[in-house]
Chain A
Amino acid sequence: MTRFLPFLFAMLWMNASDLFAVNIGSMRKSLFKIHVISQTPNYEQPWTQDPVRGSSGTGFYIGKEGILTNAHVVADGKFITVQRDGDDKPMTARVRYIAHDCDLALLEVADPNYFKNVQALNFADFPEVRAMVNTVGYPTGGEQLSTTQGVVSRVSYRRYVHTGADSHLLVQVDAAINPGNSGGPVIQKDKVVGVAFQSQSAAENTGYIIPTPVVRRFLADIKDGKYDGHPVQGLWYMEGALQNAATREYHKLKKGDGGVKVSQVADYSPAKGSLLTGDILLAIEGKPIGVDGKIVMFNERLSFRALYDLKQKGDKIHFDILRDGVRKKVEFALNAKGLFYDPGLQYSIRPRYVTIGGLVFTALSRNYLQEWGKSWVYDAPLVLRYVQNFATELHMFQGKKDIVVLSERLAHPVNTYAGPFMEEVLLRLNGQEVNSVEDIPRIIDKEKGEFLIFEFLAQDTPLVLERKAAMDADTSILQQYQIPLAKWFGSNADDGATANWEVEGS
């Protein structure tokens, strides 16, 4: 398997050639350079933050919604300013909506008159493959706006690196890409066809853009004032199995039938109850699915997941299926992110955690695993690597909002012998299932017995604390280690972007 090594680039494609440059004169006033001061929480010590750093990106005005950019440009942003092309003054901005799963964000500014006389850029439907496109933005190494030209080389459904776990429709462009440019518009003729957002470090001249359909889905999603996210799938299938003659005969497929076979439907999937293991998906929304799992969409052959993925929460989707030799139609309503383990990178003000008797329990996440360095996939403890990979599929983890890990021991006599339990996955506390970090204080508050008995995955011995001694020690442990909060369970606005302007009188 080839390894995809993408990296985010925070500005613009350089080396614009005059020969290919488009006339962006009329668009200039709609383009913004975005400066961000950000701070990332430390997942090992969830009450602390890593050092502050500065970065910049590009954004563009799309009308009353505000300035569109990438989520990764403003993620963990503590102070954000936008600067219009040709202006001398940066303007303080804040995040209005942020969608980490599809790497998009909308910014707004305090002054309602700031966008007076600014023309909103319009979107075109979908870039044609092999057609020329221009990317506009602010590269590092200079102040001026820069444009680069490239050719749309292919359309696919693949991973967005901002979370590392979500896949959506994307468009690949062959153009020399230098780090920079994230959030800049990609223009064909005089319309926007996408947002520049990531590149591939393993290959030269390869850039990726978020195409219009994904941007439009985002804008439609927030119409109700809240970002719900792309619909949950939790559906696995065997690609290509129906190429096999014996398998086709077994399932009584007709000549010319395509389709893929469902291997698993997660408990949290909206398809649960509608689709079963062994079902053959013949068509989605009336579009026939090939044996490779692809449908014809935007004149290309794309995974049927791309169509599913562009729906909104609450939308209905329908499949033509073959079950036990009988053709059926099934329809079910889609839902957005629910209570199950998310293997993608998280962006929150602070990771959720709770301390008890000097033991810090936190929720497992890709961020947490990245504390083991670049090759965490190999270097992190086996149990955590296994859970990260299979939590969404394995039955024992379904219904769990968090995978709770004992992440840190603040040494104190009450927890002296907890060493062997570090980095283990907590399953039960005093016999009760722990399905989230929040469950821990919930269980402890009701507890009156002598002990706190923690049972871990892959550990046959329990970790036992004397309940009263552990509770009594909490205050002094927090003081001793200067931990401001005994627990943090997140807030409603916990999307990792807290930048705001100072409001007088508040």
Chain B
Amino acid sequence: MIKTFLCRLLLLVNLLGVSSIGRASDRLESSLIKVYSYVQRPDFDSPWTTKQSEKLVHMGIVVSDHRILVSAYAARSAKHFEGEKIGDSKRYGLKLKMVDPVANLAILEFSETEPEGLSEIDFGEDLELGANCTIYQGTEGESLVARTLRLREVQLQAGVLTSYSLPQYVFEIRKPGYGWFEPLIRNGKLVGAAISQSGSSVFALPVSLIKRFVKESESDHYRSFPELGISFSSLLSPALRKYGKASEYEEGVWIQDIKKTSAFAKVLKRGDILLSLDGTPVSARGSYEHPLWGRIPIVAMMSEIYSGDSVELKILRGGEEKTIVENIGPYSPELERIPSIIDEPPRYTIFGGLLIQELTEGLLQSWGTSWRKRAPLPYLFEDAFHSWPQQGGESKVLVLQRVLPLDFNKGYHSMEDSFVTAVNGIPVTNLTDMAKALDRPEKGKESFARFQLEPGHEEIILTYKGIAKIHNQLRQRYGIPKSAVFWEAGASGK
């Protein structure tokens, strides 16, 4: 009752204070930049080249020292940036200062001159569930378009560029065209920025994550988001609880798997029960009570922890409680067995027309929007169930993507989309291994290179004789640039 009264009172004040609102909007305009990025994404089919350049128009937010904050998605693969102040058609050059694909945030700087009258945005605090804010969209016109939103829920969602999950605001906007880093403003202060839209849901990063990134970007030792590296399932079933000797407890989740690169890899076991993280109890569904957002997955706590911090886990093993403390490392998408940064240029090597690539999330997504259905089944299976690092993280999934046909590789022209598991009889899990193995032909068969393929058990046998000449022919016939990666004898020793 009192709350509604207060709201009405505020509304009244607002109506009376139109001119002051106008001034606030002017001030906001001085803290926003319309950014034009010219992005060239990798072409996974022909990894020596890139896709046609596309122009992305998105918002930039002015932070300390007149640096411009944008989303990493629009900045990471950009070759050129231009910025425009709202209401001013002059374009200014911008350059990339730093980018964190895990946070999906990047910082740009004006390369020479900058527009006049820029002012740093004020950071607000994270929104509470149900709270209102305003999203501002920079349109083709010269002014901002505002829309009032209400925070519907907070979800733990994979970032746009990597599979690392961050807590994100979810708003409902039926109109498409959002998710281009539009600022969310409440009481003249920044409370978040939109990073994606799916159907009528717009996802936005809460300001706490943005503040954290901006602050870290000013430091000499940038600390990214840490990796817990544990997967778990709910422990709601009383039978499973009894079996796991957790009957006397009401909380805790069943630890399913531990990443080899996790700080806890050596101390945790499958089937351990995670009871609490840094003193916060984990419910049987794997959630915790967030002061603003209600019950959200426990993994969301990672966004409040910095890489290098020590993390305390309380676990239950065989009915006995244990406390484990470890210093936790950063999440590194490139250490995944199937690296999860979608716009990372592909790593590949061409040998005698065999185009061999390390399998990545980007390559999988090159099967289009329904890639989860259309990509080759063995790839999808590895991605769904074996994407986590094995051993140190250097082991990857090597795939024969296709064969560039020449007489030299006749007989194998239709081979595609298979795993390359061994070369010259030596097991290989990445391109470096493969280069080494190619430098070590089999005894008595020195002039042949032998590639083992799975899951079909096929093998491809080609010769080293005249391979340099063959590579020249491939460059000519298929218009492959000099910069493309062809195998060279002895290169693995360099």
Contacts and interface: CB of A to CB of B under 8 A. Distances in A.
A249 interface: yes
A386 interface: yes
Interface string A161-172: 000000000000
Interface size grouping (class) on chain B: 35 or more
B447 to A, nearest CB: 8
Given A379-B373, A461-B256, A464-B240, A244 B445 contact: no
Interface string A364-404: 00000000000000110011011001100110000000000
B456 A393 contact: yes
Interface stretch (B101-109, B127-135, B459-467): B459-467
B270 A460 contact: yes
A466 interface: yes
Contacts of B448: 246, 249-250
Contacts of B410: 243-245
B461 A246 contact: yes
Contacts of A390: 377-378, 455
Contact of B457 (A263, A417, A462): A263
Contacts of A382: 372, 377, 380-381, 384
A460 B374 CA distance: 26
A240 B448 CA distance: 18
Contacts of B136: none
Contact of A241 (B372, B412, B457): B412
Interface residues of A, number: 43
A461 B270 CA distance: 9
A236 B237 contact: no
A209 B455 CA distance: 34
Contacts, number: 109
A222 to B, nearest CB: 35
Contacts of B458: 238, 241, 263
Nearest to B449: A246
A247 B461 contact: yes
A291 interface: yes
B323 interface: no
B242 interface: yes
A264 B457 contact: yes
B236 interface: yes
A383 B234 CA distance: 21
A277 B411 contact: no
A465 B409 CA distance: 56
B385 A466 contact: no
A450 B408 CA distance: 64
A238 B450 CA distance: 14
A461 B377 contact: no
A157 interface: no
B233 interface: yes
A461 B239 contact: no
Contacts of A321: none
Contacts of A242: 411
B385 A458 contact: yes
B231 interface: yes
Interface string B223-260: 00000000101101101101100000000001011000
Contacts of A383: 381
A451 B234 CA distance: 18
Contacts of B231: 460
Interface in A333-356: none
Given A246-B463, A378-B373, A465-B239, A460 B411 contact: no
A416 B410 CA distance: 58
A179 interface: no
A322 to B, nearest CB: 14
A5 B3 CA distance: 66
A113 B240 CA distance: 67
A16 interface: no
A420 interface: yes
Contact of B233 (A251, A420, A453): A420
A278 B256 CA distance: 39
A462 B254 CA distance: 10
Interface in B384-436: 384-385, 407-412, 414
Contacts of B463: 245-246, 249
B377 A389 contact: yes
Contacts of A385: 377
Nearest to A418: B237
A324 B385 CA distance: 37
Interface string A434-463: 000000000000000011010000101111
Interface string B200-236: 0000000000000000000000000000000101101
A442 to B, nearest CB: 22
B240 A250 contact: no
Nearest to B413: A240
A249 B461 CA distance: 10
Nearest to A457: B385
A382 B382 CA distance: 11
A377 B368 CA distance: 17
Contact of B462 (A243, A244, A263, A464): A244
Given A389-B377, A417-B236, A236 B412 contact: no
A244 B461 contact: yes
A277 B257 CA distance: 35
A451 B245 CA distance: 12
A243 B411 contact: yes
Nearest to B409: A244
Contact of B411 (A244, A389, A458, A462): A244
Most chain-A CB neighbours within 10 Å: which of B378, B407, B411, B456? B411
A4 to B, nearest CB: 17
A252 to B, nearest CB: 11
Contact of A393 (B254, B385, B445, B455): B455
Nearest to A379: B373
Contacts of A245: 407, 410, 463
A244 B257 CA distance: 45
A149 to B, nearest CB: 38
Contacts of A247: 411, 460-462
A176 to B, nearest CB: 34
B245 to A, nearest CB: 12
Contacts of A464: 237, 239-240, 242-243
Interface string B439-483: 000000100101000011111111101000000000000000000
Contacts of A416: 237
Contacts of A460: 231, 233, 256-257, 270
Contacts of A465: 239
Contacts of B457: 236, 263-264, 277, 393
Interface string A253-282: 000000001011000000000000110000
Contact of B384 (A264, A458, A463): A458
B267 to A, nearest CB: 18
Given A247-B461, A263-B459, A386 B240 contact: no
A241 B411 CA distance: 4
B159 to A, nearest CB: 23
Contacts of A379: 373
Nearest to B237: A417
Contacts of A240: 411-412, 414
In the A-B complex, the 4 residue pairs with the closest CB atoms: A417-B237, A244-B411, A460-B256, A246-B463
21 contacts: A236-B456, A238-B459, A241-B411, A244-B410, A244-B412, A244-B462, A249-B448, A250-B450, A250-B461, A263-B457, A278-B459, A378-B374, A382-B384, A390-B377, A393-B457, A451-B243, A453-B243, A458-B385, A460-B257, A464-B242, A464-B243
Given A244-B461, A382-B372, A389-B377, 20 more contacts: A238-B459, A241-B460, A244-B410, A244-B411, A246-B465, A247-B411, A247-B461, A250-B461, A263-B459, A378-B370, A379-B373, A386-B377, A386-B380, A386-B381, A393-B456, A416-B237, A420-B234, A460-B256, A461-B256, A462-B240
Interface of B: 231, 233-234, 236-237, 239-240, 242-243, 254, 256-257, 270, 370, 372-374, 377-378, 380-381, 384-385, 407-412, 414, 445, 448, 450, 455-463, 465
